[in-house]
Amino acid sequence: MHVLILGGTTEGRRLAETLDADGVRVTSSLAGRVAAPRLPPGEVRVGGFGGAEGLARWVREHQVDAVIDATHPFAGTISFHAARAAATSHVPLLALRRPGWTPVEGDDWHPVDSLEAAAGAVPELGRRVFLTTGRMGLAAFAEVADAWFLVRSVDPPEPPLPPRAEVLLDRGPFTLEGEREVLRAYAIDVLVTKDSGGAATAPKLTAAREAGIPVVIVRRPPVPDGVPVAATVEEAAAWAHRPGR
């Protein structure tokens, strides 16, 4: 059996480790947006496929038996390409998605549907912004002139950036004490993030709740219609041994 994992996430890497240990041939495909990614075991390819048609062709040429979309919850384009490619190649497809975050008592969340909407919400909520949406899509905040931004990302972001911004290069998982210190040291009064889910970056939400800081949170896009979803690596690994059944 040959399983193609569309990866780049912690879950994708753990799934590759699990299947490789089970003796399954695994190819992990990484987008190549991170300069020094943590490589999973098995075969690895880096870069795009050339749209849904290119992905379908790659699946056929490499005799892939099943595809698991373990990309970031906000990597929407590749997910829809995977759905179309799987349908045309007649190969089963599963989406592995960590559950999203849910607010608890004391949270002051302001859900929005896009980065542009998040940028529009910022001026009403604060002036010192902790922006943790990653380095892609920062152009949405380039016109917000009446706020200062602390932009955290793994690799240096490219312009355009907010006119008043400082870049903090760091990679999760993050600790609660560390996030508390960031909020305190930079006098943050509003947090902007995506609903990525998972534990690695969740401490910032707890720190914001403790400090009484509002959180602008971008809702994740939906999984393509008809694609089954697994919430854990274990569920996805079990499916991989019996794809589509």
What structural domains and CATH numbers belong to the chain?
2-99+221-241 (3.40.50.720), 109-218 (3.40.50.720)
| Residue length of the chain | 245
Contact 125, 110 (CB under 8 A): yes
User: What's the chain's average pLDDT?
Assistant: 93
Instruction: Report pLDDT digits (tens) over 74-121.
Output: 887 899 999 999 999 999 999 999 899 999 999 999 999 999 999 999
Does 201 or 84 have the greater pLDDT score?
84
* Tokens at 26, concatenated: 């695994």
Q: Could you give the 3-state DSSP secondary structure of residue 19?
A: helix
Question: Please, which pLDDT band fits residue 36 given cuts at 50, 70 and 90?
Answer: low
Which pLDDT tens digit goes with each residue over 108-155?
Answer: 999 999 999 999 999 999 999 999 998 888 999 999 999 999 999 988
Distances in Å between the Cα of 30 and the Cα atoms of 47, 87, 229 are: 6, 21, 20
Q: Longest Cα pair distance anywhere in the chain, in angstroms?
A: 55
Q: Rounded to an integer, what distance in angstroms lies between the CA atom of residue 186 and that of residue 181?
A: 8
Cα 46 to chain centroid distance, Å, stands at 17
Whether residue 160 is preceded by a cis peptide bond, meaning omega within 30 degrees of 0, is: yes
Q: Is the pLDDT of residue 210 over 80?
A: yes
Q: Check: pTM over 0.85? Answer yes or no.
A: no
CB-based contact 60:53 (threshold 8 Å)? no
pLDDT given for residue 9 in this prediction: 87
Instruction: Find the mean pLDDT for residues 179-192.
Output: 98
pLDDT at 245 over 60: no
Other CB atoms within a 10 A radius of the CB of residue 142 amount to 14
pLDDT at 29: 94
Bridge partners, residue 68, by sequence: 5, 94
